[in-house]
Amino acid sequence: MTSIAAPYRDVTAADVMTSPVVTVPDSGTIWDAWSVLINCHVRHAVVVSGERCIGIVDDRVLIQAWQRGPSALRSTPIRALLHDRTSCVLPDSPLAHVATLMNTERLGAVPVVDDGGRLLGLITTSDILHAIARYGLRCENASAETVAAGSTR
């Protein structure tokens, strides 16, 4: 994670993203992706074509692919496991927007890209939790008494 955010601005994707990102080239196979996750001790890898993000794979998707058998894992392109579209965020996206996107779309990770689609970083659910612990949690639509009492809306 980067340095502590200035107290006068909202926390952004750039403040909490992990960079550099563990990647798998789009020319790789499912086996290649497994190898990357295991060797790098991570749960998510971004699939890239050059410097551009084209998708994301995680350990759960790869576990589901395991039933295809060893020869299929070594011959099936990683592209076969990608969704048609990948949600990404810009580095200046507010962290609340990132968290809402991840919650709404049920994502474990979101790539951070520049205006040209080049991969800059990755935000995982763990990064969101670390950010809450580091920067605190601001509840915009709740009174201080409601937050202090632990009430939910």
Looking at CATH, the fold of the domain delimited by 13-149 is given as CBS-domain (3.10.580)
Which tens digit of pLDDT belongs to each residue from 19-63?
999 999 999 999 999 999 999 999 999 999 988 899 999 999 888
The structural domains of the chain, with segments of one domain joined by +, span: 13-149
Which tens digit of pLDDT belongs to each residue from 61-77?
888 888 877 788 888 89
Identity of the residue numbered 150: G
- Cβ atoms of 1 and 125 closer than 8 Å: no
Q: Are strands 44-49 and 23-25 parallel, antiparallel or unpaired?
A: parallel
Which tens digit of pLDDT belongs to each residue from 109-129?
999 999 988 999 999 999 999
H-helix or E-strand containing 97?
Answer: helix 95-104
